[in-house]
Amino acid sequence: MYGRGILKGLGVTIKHFIDTYIDDLRYGLNKYSKFEDNFTQRQSHEARGAFTIQYPDEKMAMPERFRFTPFLVVNDDDHPDAPGQDWCTSCGICAKVCPPQCIWIVRGQDPVTKRPIPEPEAFYIDIDICMNCGFCAEFCPFDAIKMDHDYEMASYDRTTTHIHDKNRLQKPFTYWRSIAPQITVEEAEARGGWEHVDVIKAKEKAAKEAAKKAAAAEPAKPATADVIPTGEQAAQGESLKTDTVDSAANVAALNRAEASTPDTPASDPDAEKAARLAKREAALARKHAKKEGGES
C-alpha cells in the first residue's frame, strides 16, 4: 500500500547490486579465474549478487537431470572381468519408443552359430533429429543409454559429425557416475549392485546353485531317526511281519508300517520308494508261498 511493495522490490535490487561488489571483494582478482572450485561455489546457494559467465572460458555447471543427446554406457577400461563391454543388449526398445525414430541398431551375431547375441554390432543416433526427450533412457531396461550433458556439438559438417555411431556414443560408466552421482546411486540400488543387471542376476543364480550344492553335500539324516514309533505302530509292524500275513489289506498295512521305520534316508525319495517296493514284493511272495503250502 502506498508504494511499499515497490520500495521493497527496489531494496532487493539494491541488495543484489551491493552483494555483487561484496562478492568481487571476496574473490579479489580470482573471480573470473578458471578455478573450478571458485566457479562452482559462485553457482551454489552461497553465491551473492549477480555475475556474468564468461563463456566459453567459463561454463555453467549442468544440473544432474539436464539432458542433451543420448550416449551408451560401457564398462570401464579397468573393469576386472569385461573391460569396455557394452551394457546395451540391442533389445531395440529405445529405437521403438523414440518419437522421431532417429535410432538405428544392428544386432550382433555369433560368428560361428550366426545366432543373435545380446550386444549391438552397430548403433547410430542422428542427433540433428533427436529432440532430447529422454524416452530412450527412460525405457531402457538395462540402464544402457543415458542423456549426456555435452551440448557443444555445433559443426559445419552434418553427415560425418551429427550421426553418432557406436564408437562416438560409447562412454564409460565412471563418466555417467561423474555427471549424475545421485541418479547412479538410485539406479544401483534398484538393480541390486553397480554392475550390469545381467551380471547381478548371474551372480545371484550362481550363489543359489552353490548353496544348493552345499546343502546336498551335507550328510543326509534318516527320515525318521528321531521319531520313536508309537506302541500301536510298533505292535502293528511286528505282528504284520509274522507269517500270519494272509490278506492284501495286511500287506498294505505292512507297507505302511515298514515305511515308517528309520532304515531309509529321507533325503533320497527314489531309494525310499525302491525299498518299499522290494518289501511289498517280499510280502506278496511270502503270502503266495503260504497259500501254496496250505493247498498242497
* Binding stretches for ligand SF4 (CB under 6 A): 70, 88-94, 98-100, 102-103, 105, 125, 130-136, 140, 142, 144-145
Please report where in the chains the cell 555435452 appears, as a residue. Answer: 150
For residue 57, the tally of other CB atoms under 10 A from its CB is 9
Cβ-contact 42, 60 below 8 angstroms: no
**With respect to ligand SF4, which residue has the nearer C-beta, 92 or 192?**
92
Three-state DSSP at 172 gives: strand
Of 53 and 122, CB closest to ligand SF4: 122
Q: Which residue number, 183 or 275, has a Cβ lying nearer to ligand SF4?
A: 183
Q: What is the DSSP pairing of strand 103-109 with strand 70-74?
A: unpaired
Which residue type is seen at 220?
Answer: A
The CB-of-77 to ligand SF4 minimum distance in angstroms stands at 20
Provide the H-helix boundaries in 130-180: 135-139, 158-161, 166-169, 173-179
Q: In the complex with ligand SF4, which residue's Cβ is closer, 145 or 283?
A: 145
For residue 114, the minimal CB distance to ligand SF4 (Å) is 20
Residue 122 CB, shortest distance to ligand SF4, in Å, is 12
Torsion, Cα 135 137 139 143, to 10 degrees, reads: 180
Which amino acid type is present at position 20? T
CB of 165 to ligand SF4, least distance (A): 14
**Cβ within 8 Å of residue 180, ≥6 positions away:** 64, 65, 146
| Grid cell digits, residue 193 | 549392485
CB of 92 to ligand SF4, least distance (A): 5
**Closest approach of ligand SF4 to the CB of residue 125, in Å:** 5
Q: How far is CA 272 from the centre of its chain?
A: 42
**Nearer Cβ to ligand SF4 (70/279):** 70
Q: Which is nearer to ligand SF4, 86 or 258 (CB)?
A: 86
SS3 of 80, please? coil
The gap from C-alpha 279 to its chain's centroid, in whole angstroms, comes to: 52
